[in-house]
């Protein structure tokens, strides 16, 4: 399932999805259009093969969490913080 943006950035106007980070309990903007890559093995090794997260998920049958829960790959999406991709981050208002 592809995430659907629900708001444009006040600074650059690009579509964003506001989400709750369940680790920090803070909301933040996600860039749903940035391509995210999966790299297996030593991330610091030069020349490692990479593939997009979307293609990686297409090859997964199920994602099994350590607590035993299983998540269907169709129910996942990988996004990047819009704080990292905004072309005009200096005008960002976090408030």
Please report how close the Cβ of residue 76 comes to Zn ion at its closest, in angstroms. 24
Residue numbers of the site for Zn ion (CB under 5 A)? Answer: 9, 11-12, 86
Please report how close the Cβ of residue 32 comes to Zn ion at its closest, in angstroms. 12
Closer to Zn ion by CB, 11 or 19: give it: 11
From CA 75, how far away is CA 3, in angstroms rounded?
10
Closer to Zn ion by CB, 9 or 32: give it: 9
Beta carbons of 62 and 17 less than 8 angstroms apart: no
Closer to Zn ion by CB, 40 or 91: give it: 91
3-state helix, strand, coil in the chain (%, to 5): 15, 30, 55
Please report how close the Cβ of residue 86 comes to Zn ion at its closest, in angstroms. 3
Cross-strand partners of 17: 30
């Amino acid at each position: 399932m592809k995430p659907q943006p629900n708001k444009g950035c006040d600074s650059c106007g690009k579509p964003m999805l506001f989400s709750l980070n369940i680790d920090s309990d803070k909301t933040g903007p996600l860039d749903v259009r940035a391509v995210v890559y999966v790299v297996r093995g030593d991330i610091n090794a030069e020349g490692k093969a990479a593939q997009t997260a979307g293609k990686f998920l297409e090859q997964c049958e199920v994602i099994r969490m350590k607590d035993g829960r299983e998540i269907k790959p169709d129910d996942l999406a990988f996004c990047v913080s819009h704080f990292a991709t905004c072309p005009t981050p200096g005008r960002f208002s976090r408030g």
